[in-house]
Amino acid sequence: MNNSVHYWQALNHALDQQMAADDSIVVLGEDVGLYGGSYRVTEGLYAKYGEWRLRDTPISEGSFTGMGVGAAMVGLRPVVEIMTINFALLALDALINMAAKVPFMSGGQFAMPLVVRVPGGVAKQLAAQHSQRLEQTLMNVPGLRIAVPATPQDAYWQLTQAIHSDEPIILLEHELLYFTQGPLDDSLEAPPMHRAEVCREGQDVTIVTYSRMRDLSLQAASKLAEGGIEAEVIDLRSLRPIDWDTCAASLEKTHRLLVVEEDSGFAGAGAEIIAGLTERCFAELDAQPQRVAGLELPIAYNARLEAASIPRLNDITTAAKTLCDV
Amino acid sequence: MREPILMPSLSDTMESGHFIQWLKQPGDAVKKGEAVAEVESDKAIMDVEAFHDGYLAGPLVAEDTDLPVGAVLAYLVGRPEEVSETQAEKPSRTKQAASEKRPATENKSAASPETAVAVEKPATPSSSRPSSSNTTHVKASPYARGLARELGIDLSQLAPAADGSIHGRQVLAAALGRPEARLDDGPAYELQAMTPMQRAVANNMIAAAATPTFRTSARFALGPIRNLAKDKRFSLTLLLARACALTIQKHPRFNAAYTLQGLAQRQQVDVGIAVDVPNGLLTPVLRNVTEKPLNDLQEEWRLLKDRAMGKTPRHRLTPEDYRGATFYLSNLGMFSEVVHFDAVVPVGAAAILAVATVQDGVAEYTLSCDHRVVYGADAARFLHTLGEILDKPQTLLSGD
């Protein structure tokens, strides 16, 4: 048990452990080899496992992600790093048309043990084209699984589980999470990859969130507690599939639902979460579910506008209070 | 505009009323607040008033019929032309329906809201307001509806929350027989969430309200014990707690709690003391007050009070610090206006002693008791012993 591991270190540790145990694991991506990854996730691995297992690729997301698909089809277990989700737009053909569909269209003859790691989200003034969150696009693709680890422990667990899985899995890693710290115990048994975590218990309102918004929601919950509102915070950990049971159990207790997402709200993850839970728990709802989401805007470069474009602490506490006031 | 005029609820218990007669005819202009009809509740004959300006439009319910609260009596429309439109649709329907309906309503229990109102339902499918049943007019959350169904609560009888909709909270309050204040009746307001402590105090008080309580008062000179407190530099509250504890020792029934299985007689005397803290009330408990040296108790009390007041953020008061006393003390003596008060006996306690301020050297002591545990004469004897101790407070020091 180590109490202060960086998120990137947890990923690095998982990769190192798995690569040491299984020769068929290879890493593909831009600057993943010699440079050690733009967020240090592959640091030290090039020296240890060599250039055949950590391939520095050209700046061509479509081709190296496609190469990952092909490698997975012929027996390797590739871990593809796409430098940011913004560049993954060029790899959507490989992800959506190939990775997600080959197992289905081949009648199961081909497994797809492909892991695609993608940093994303609003970081620090990277402007509109480098601040996107594309979970809504990927969530709508049957055949893909999407994990959104928010802590070093989850990053370690979920990358390890993804490597072991024969399904194509996309890990959405938030760029501002790489240098956050948290405990990591690699001896703990991992919960199922899609299992949501109740990271704070409360009986007044359920806040469902994921990725970097987990921490903000927990902060908001502490603030709310000062005013007498006990929020239950659920970190989904997985956006496809979604662990409805954990959310539904919470709503049976609180009867109030607030979704916090960094992505813009329209047709986003929150829309699916609210629809899915309304279908399952309609009779439990004591107030109309609410979303706190990013604004319907490209993200501005200006730091203040950037910060105002995505949920802030006050947005969450205000929404939760409104929900609980009635 | 087409607003229904509904059978009003004229008393808390009214479920249905007797419609006597119309005071207006279809097409008559009606001013807001003007009486349009007369109805009779279980208590009185009252006017049905219009909530808007407009014109009375049918279909009108028949006179001299019983109708459930919330039933549509007629409609108010914005323009005279709309009156004839509604009239033209079903010119004979109203009368016919009314005469058909009469036998049914004579048997009151057979006239469920649905049947009674359905007969009067206007045939226009495009009617902007649903009127098939009075409950469909009620805005309520899905959870509230489910609860109401399960608990057999009529949603139309509940006052909605601030947002105009009924929520689980209102249904539960009704089910528990604790109606919440009808906030719509007064001026505008803003809801403030209660702190966990305020909520806890409220819950404790609700629980305590079930205790059958009586009160007994006595007046004792405060001088001797106050002088002793000054001389020996003890807190007055502490000495009062000790005086109570020594009294309890002589009247052990005051150290018992009522349970369904019997009286739980405590083996040591613990005294809970009410402390006024910001936004709340705490009752830290001094343990074993008869046996410990006063100096130790003084130190314990200081620590408890600091914790209760939040002066030591790292050591907040824990439930072990404020639970489990069978006797409580509440001292408002520092408020020179308070010449008399009595306190609520907490659940699990036999009694609570309320100490008011000194007037002409004498303070009033009011003992509120759980009558399941102690009786009037017990309280009188308790106060007699307490008076003796307060008269000769040196006995408080014995054993030290």
CA-wise closest residue to B172 among B186, B151, B149, B188: B151
The answer to whether residue A191 sits within a structural domain is no
Q: Measuring CA to CA, how many Å separate A260 from each of A207, A218, A273, B97, B381?
A: 7, 11, 10, 54, 63
Domain count, chain A: 2
Catalytic residues of A: 61, 130
Check whether residue B223 and residue B320 sit in a common domain. Answer: yes
* pLDDT, one tens digit for every residue, chain A (326 residues): 677 999 999 999 999 999 999 999 999 999 999 999 999 999 999 999 999 999 999 999 999 999 999 999 999 999 999 999 999 999 999 999 999 999 999 999 999 999 999 999 999 999 999 999 999 999 999 999 999 999 999 999 999 999 999 999 999 999 999 999 999 999 999 999 999 999 999 999 999 999 999 999 999 999 999 988 999 999 999 999 999 999 999 999 999 999 999 999 999 999 999 999 999 999 999 999 999 999 999 999 999 999 999 999 999 999 999 998 86
Name which of B139, B141, B195 to mutate to probe chain A: the one with the most chain A Cβ atoms within 10 A of its Cβ. Answer: B141
Check whether residue A298 and residue A255 sit in a common domain. Answer: yes
Residue B149 C-alpha, separation from nearest chain A C-alpha, in angstroms = 11
**CB-CB: which of B167, B195, B198 is closest to A326?**
B167
Check whether residue B23 and residue B146 sit in a common domain. Answer: no
- Quickly list DSSP for A224-280: HHHTT--EEEEE--EEES--HHHHHHHHHHH--EEEEEEEESTTSHHHHHHHHHHHH
* Residues in chain A whose Cβ is within 8 Å of chain B: 225, 227-230, 255, 282-287, 321, 324-326
**CB-CB: which of B144, B169, B195 is closest to A228?**
B195
The answer to whether residue B225 sits within a structural domain is yes
Residue B68: what pLDDT? 79
**Structural domain that includes position A11:** 2-184
Residue A275 C-alpha, separation from nearest chain B C-alpha, in angstroms = 15
Residue B43: what pLDDT? 66
B98 φ/ψ angles, rounded to the nearest 5 degrees: -65, -40
Judged by DSSP in three states, B389 sits in: helix
Residue tagged active-site, from B315, B340, B371, B384: B371
The answer to whether residue B198 sits within a structural domain is no
Check whether residue A173 and residue A261 sit in a common domain. Answer: no
Check whether residue B120 and residue B151 sit in a common domain. Answer: no
B146 to chain A, any CB pair closer than 8 A? The answer is yes
The answer to whether residue B197 sits within a structural domain is no
What is the rounded average pLDDT of the residues B47-75? 85
- Strand B262-265 and strand B256-259: pairing? antiparallel
Asked if A48 and A87 touch (Cβ cutoff 8 Å), the reply is no
Asked if A206 and A265 touch (Cβ cutoff 8 Å), the reply is no
Check whether residue A86 and residue A7 sit in a common domain. Answer: yes
Name which of B139, B143, B149 to mutate to probe chain A: the one with the most chain A Cβ atoms within 10 A of its Cβ. Answer: B143
B310 to chain A, any CB pair closer than 8 A? The answer is no
Q: Measuring CA to CA, how many Å separate B155 from each of B8, B15, B112, B135, B137?
A: 15, 12, 15, 7, 10
Neighboring chain B residues of A289 at a CB cutoff of 8 Å: none
User: Which chain A residue has the Cα nearest residue B144?
Assistant: A286
Residue A208 C-alpha, separation from nearest chain B C-alpha, in angstroms = 19
Check whether residue A32 and residue A106 sit in a common domain. Answer: yes
The ipTM assigned to this model is 0.73
What gap in Å lies between CA A25 and CA A28, rounded to an integer?
A: 10
Asked if A284 and A195 touch (Cβ cutoff 8 Å), the reply is no
Check whether residue B127 and residue B269 sit in a common domain. Answer: no
Check whether residue A58 and residue A175 sit in a common domain. Answer: yes
Question: In this structure, what CATH number is given to the domain that contains residue B258?
Answer: 3.30.559.10
B91 φ/ψ angles, rounded to the nearest 5 degrees: -60, -40
Check whether residue A84 and residue A166 sit in a common domain. Answer: yes
Residue B51: what pLDDT? 84
The answer to whether residue B145 sits within a structural domain is yes
User: Which chain A residue has the Cα nearest residue B195?
Assistant: A228
User: Which chain B residue has the Cα nearest residue A229?
Assistant: B193
Q: Which two tokens stand for residue A114?
A: 């492909």
**CB-CB: which of A230, A284, A325 is closest to B143?**
A284
Cα dihedral value A35, A41, A116, A196, nearest 10: -170
Within 10 Å of residue A325's Cβ, how many Cβ atoms? 15
Name which of A274, A282, A326 to mutate to probe chain B: the one with the most chain B Cβ atoms within 10 A of its Cβ. Answer: A326
**CB-CB: which of B143, B191, B193 is closest to A255?**
B143
Question: In this structure, what CATH number is given to the domain that contains residue A255?
Answer: 3.40.50.920
- The side-by-side arrangement of strands in the sheet containing B35-40 is B45-49, B35-40, B16-22, B65-68
The answer to whether residue A67 sits within a structural domain is yes
Question: In this structure, what CATH number is given to the domain that contains residue B157?
Answer: 4.10.320.10
CA-wise closest residue to A219 among A315, A307, A130, A132: A315
Question: In this structure, what CATH number is given to the domain that contains residue B65?
Answer: 2.40.50.100
Check whether residue A139 and residue A268 sit in a common domain. Answer: no
Indicate if the pLDDT at residue B111 is higher than 70. no
Check whether residue A34 and residue A75 sit in a common domain. Answer: yes
Question: Cβ of A286 and B141 within 8 Å?
Answer: yes
Check whether residue B238 and residue B377 sit in a common domain. Answer: yes
Check whether residue B185 and residue B217 sit in a common domain. Answer: no
CA-wise closest residue to B271 among B261, B291, B313, B358: B291
Residue B342 C-alpha, separation from nearest chain A C-alpha, in angstroms = 29
Check whether residue B155 and residue B51 sit in a common domain. Answer: no
Question: Cβ of A285 and B141 within 8 Å?
Answer: yes
The answer to whether residue A190 sits within a structural domain is no
Question: Which has the minimum average pLDDT: A172-176, B190-194, B351-355, B356-360?
Answer: B190-194
Residue B312 C-alpha, separation from nearest chain A C-alpha, in angstroms = 18
**Structural domain that includes position B25:** 2-133
CA-wise closest residue to A214 among A199, A192, A230, A231: A199
CA-wise closest residue to A197 among A145, A250, A160: A250
User: Which chain A residue has the Cα nearest residue B170?
Assistant: A326
pLDDT tens digits for range B255-302: 999 998 899 999 999 999 998 887 778 899 999 999 999 999 999 999
Neighboring chain B residues of A283 at a CB cutoff of 8 Å: 142-143, 145-146
Question: Cβ of A227 and B162 within 8 Å?
Answer: no
Check whether residue A8 and residue A129 sit in a common domain. Answer: yes
pLDDT tens digits for range B293-347: 999 999 999 999 888 888 877 777 887 888 889 999 999 988 999 999 999 999 9
Residue B88: what pLDDT? 42
Question: Cβ of A286 and B162 within 8 Å?
Answer: no
Check whether residue B220 and residue B352 sit in a common domain. Answer: yes
Q: Which of residues 168-197 of B touch A (CB under 8 A)?
A: 168-169, 191, 193-196
Query: How big is the A-B interface in CB pairs under 8 Å?
Result: 45
Q: For residue A44, what is the DSSP state?
A: T
Judged by DSSP in three states, B263 sits in: strand
Q: What's the angle, vertex CA B324, arms to CA B274 and CA B352, rounded to 5?
A: 45
Asked if A120 and A85 touch (Cβ cutoff 8 Å), the reply is yes
Within 10 Å of residue B350's Cβ, how many Cβ atoms? 30
Check whether residue A178 and residue A230 sit in a common domain. Answer: no
Neighboring chain B residues of A325 at a CB cutoff of 8 Å: 162-163, 191, 193
Domain count, chain B: 3
Indicate if the pLDDT at residue B107 is higher than 60. no
Judged by DSSP in three states, B2 sits in: strand
What is the rounded average pLDDT of the residues B104-122? 38
Check whether residue A268 and residue A161 sit in a common domain. Answer: no
B199 to chain A, any CB pair closer than 8 A? The answer is yes
Question: Cβ of A228 and B141 within 8 Å?
Answer: no
Check whether residue B350 and residue B285 sit in a common domain. Answer: yes
Q: How confident is the model at residue B212 (pLDDT cuts 50, 70, 90)?
A: very high
Check whether residue A110 and residue A16 sit in a common domain. Answer: yes
The answer to whether residue A189 sits within a structural domain is no
The amino acid present at B353, given as its one-letter code, is L
What gap in Å lies between CA B227 and CA A58, rounded to an integer?
A: 91
Check whether residue B117 and residue B144 sit in a common domain. Answer: no
Boundary residue ending a domain (A129, A149, A184): A184
Check whether residue B36 and residue B129 sit in a common domain. Answer: yes
Check whether residue B120 and residue B216 sit in a common domain. Answer: no
